[in-house]
């Protein structure tokens, strides 16, 4: 299974083996990764699953679709070019080595 690294607010790291087809948000909730709230459960209506994708990882991801880009306008922390909603990042063989940073605030 591909490994995804979550960089937490205190700069510690959690490396998690994630089954293909699982979202980065779902895996975070299942493994109690602090800082991804995911209040809507992945329905693309809360923006509390915001993450910053490491530059080196971004090329492995499909670009955000229009609905995700709209929701990113509502994130609690700073929106940056590398901002994504983790419920919309689905793990594939290509995303092995993905690194995401948890923002300091979600809601």
Question: 28 or 99, CB closer to ligand FES?
Answer: 28
CA distance 1 to 6: 16
Q: Report yes or no: 72 and 50 within 8 Å, Cβ to Cβ.
A: yes
Nearer to ligand FES, 18 or 71 (CB): 71
Among 3, 7, 29, 40, binds ligand FES (CB under 6 A): 40
Sign of CA dihedral 52, 15, 91, 88: negative
Q: On the CB side of 53, how many CA atoms lie within 13 Å of its CA?
A: 24
Region near ligand FES per CB under 6 A, out of 4-12, 14-22, 45-53, 58-66: 45-53
The answer to whether 27 contacts ligand FES (rule: CB under 6 A) is: no
List the one residue from 49, 51, 53, 91 that touches ligand FES (CB under 6 A): 49
- Maximum CA extent, the chain: 32
Query: Which residues of the shown chain bind ligand FES in the complex (CB under 6 A)?
Result: 25, 38-40, 42, 44-49, 71, 85, 87
């Amino acid at each position: 299974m591909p490994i995804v690294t979550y960089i937490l607010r205190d700069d510690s790291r959690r490396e998690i083996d994630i089954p293909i087809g699982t979202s980065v948000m779902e895996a975070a909730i299942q493994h109690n990764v602090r800082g991804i709230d995911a209040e809507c459960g992945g329905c693309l209506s809360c923006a509390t699953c915001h993450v910053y994708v490491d530059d080196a990882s971004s090329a492995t991801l499909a670009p955000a679709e229009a609905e995700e880009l709209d929701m990113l306008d509502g994130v609690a922390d700073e929106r940056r070019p590398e901002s994504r909603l983790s419920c919309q990042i689905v793990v594939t063989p290509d995303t092995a080595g993905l690194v995401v940073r948890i923002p300091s605030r979600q809601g």
